[in-house]
Amino acid sequence: MYLTRKLKLGRTDQLDALARRAGDLWSTVAKWHWRFVDRQGYWLSKGQSQTMYCKGYEGLHSQSAQAVADSFYDSLQSWRKKRDSGNYEGLRPPYKQKRYFKIQWKSSAIKLRDDGVLRLSNGRGNDPVLINWPSGQEPKRVEIGWDGDQYELRCQYEVGEDQEPKGSKTAGIDVGEIHLAAVYTEDESWTVNGRELRSLRRQQNRTKKKLDSKIDQKEYGSRKWKRLVHAKDRQLRKTRNQIKDLLHKQSTRLLKTLHERRVGTVVVGDLTGIRNGLDYGSKANQRLHQWAYSKFVKMIEYKARLHGMTVERVGEAYTSQECPSCGNRHKPHGREYICGCGFEGHRDLVGAANIRQKYLGQDEPEGSPLRVAGEGPKRSVMASPTGVRYRPHMRCNPATVGKTCTEPKGSCGQAGRPVGSGQRSP
């Protein structure tokens, strides 16, 4: 498995020059590709473009130059697939020229020195990029791109699934908006509160609405217009980072809890296509379109594999409407699920229990996976879940506190000195 580690580098003349060379090469590849299409009706292949425009390109390592063409043709191939499927309305192929572009290095151009400095080669006769690397592991692929304020190092390195699951339990997870996750195992259940995430989303929408209104009142391109646009980008970027940080912390805490509870298999509901044909009103539609379920599920998947767990996806259709006790379906009102057979339980936990049972199939007797708090001749109640709320002091790892380069602009890019230093961002 490969993970990405990020490091803030600030801004230097060397990185500006490299990004400018990569942008010039992107523009050349895009320009001549479409000229061949327009004039000769011929689509250049990636190999042809790399031979014609990337070979011997000055200022970049040969593999860095090839990676620019790879990025162009990957984007082009993605557009062609959507075009062939008919789902490309409003999308255009990559054709714009770029002033700057990200720089990428492959394994042959990457070397971790004994003194802990990462050396990125830029070809014969050019000064390499030197970076203080906080990890002792050499990355397999490196990318430097602009994050909106400064350059950011993104390194991919291989990690092993070195942990073993403590047990063989199976946990069903129902991903939601009010509760980020409802988890059900054979003997306990709990929910991960998502109200802090909803609060951040509301703050994001209010900020965007307020600043958009002010921007519309200013003359396009004026000094005040630019200041408001920059303020909007800065504030929205801060909120996006807070949302990402919250999702990482909640998913990390969830997987650590599952590992401690001796869970070996994690079953997650598959929500693919849930937004298709969505129409619950403007406010509900906005919340659901901003629902970051895919990002949260991906975090759960790779962090579960790091703990040695198996991750499975099953269809989530009707799992929150089907009674785990008698199998009848009805749409619940509110957060409680009440069935005519006498069963009562939390709606999200009912979905998690059904997701788990859907994966297990008929291996267990009917009704056995349910944890019941009280039973009688006509009534059974699912045990109340343990609530897990967000705490601002929660941290994934104390060693991952981010740092940025404190050197003055242009002073860290000299030959023989590292460009930046620090640890990966949380």
pLDDT in tens, 200-251: 888 888 899 999 999 999 999 999 999 999 999 999 989 888 988 888 988 8
Structure tokens at 271: 């929500």
At 191, the pLDDT band (50, 70, 90 cuts) reads confident
pLDDT tens profile 245-274: 888 988 888 888 888 888 888 888 877 655
pLDDT exceeds 50 at position 124? yes
In the chain the first and final C-alpha atoms are separated, in Å, by 19
Cα(296)–Cα(120) distance, integer angstroms: 33
Q: What pLDDT is recorded for position 409?
A: 39
DSSP-based three-state secondary structure for 397: coil
Q: What is the mean pLDDT of the chain?
A: 80
Q: Which residues pair with 175 in a beta bridge?
A: 181
Q: Cβ contacts of residue 289 below 8 Å, gap of 6+?
A: 275, 278
pLDDT tens profile 330-350: 888 777 888 878 788 888 888
What share of the chain has pLDDT > 90, as a percent?
Answer: 31
Nearest to 264 by CA among 163, 165, 363: 165
Q: Report yes or no: 263 and 292 within 8 Å, Cβ to Cβ.
A: no
Cα(28)–Cα(98) distance, integer angstroms: 10
Average pLDDT over residues 94-103: 94
The helix, strand and coil proportions of the chain, stated in percent and rounded to the nearest 5, come to 40, 20, 40
Q: Cβ contacts of residue 2 below 8 Å, gap of 6+?
A: 140, 156, 157, 158, 159
In terms of C-beta density within 10 A (0-12 exposed, 13-18 middle, 19 or more buried), how is residue 345 classed? Answer: buried
Q: What's the predicted TM-score (pTM) here?
A: 0.70
177 C-beta neighbours (distance < 10 Å), count:
17
pLDDT exceeds 60 at position 419? no
At 290, the pLDDT band (50, 70, 90 cuts) reads low
